[in-house]
Amino acid sequence: MGYIITGMALKNLFSKPVTKRYPHEPIVYTERTRGHVYNDMEKCIICSICEKACPAGALGVDKEARTWTIDRFSCVQCGACVRSCPPKAQSLIMKPEYAPVATKMTSEVFTKPEDSLED
């Protein structure tokens, strides 16, 4: 038994590491990385179709306040909101990197700029 463990230890000692040395080596996102939902509020028409399409109920749209809200803790990054975004707007995309780390369970609120009145 001791010979097996010694052999494994020597093998691991002289082989290449399996893990990456993050943050010293940058993360390479593959083509299929889901990442996180991003809304370009300049293009958003505040139609609330994405809110209705979200199976997790993570999105909220307030037409009067002109805000778009996402609860990142509820979002499952399925992409249903991105697929449902109307071709006229195409403001929702899946960014291939992960969302910044959150320390509190709060929703992110984005407001449509006043100078881009398109609805």
Burial of 92 (0-12, 13-18, 19+ CB in 10 A): buried
For 22-66, write each residue's pLDDT tens digit: 778 777 888 888 888 999 999 999 999 999 999 999 999 999 999
Contact 108, 69 (CB under 8 A): yes
Contact 45, 33 (CB under 8 A): no
Q: Look up the pTM and report it.
A: 0.70
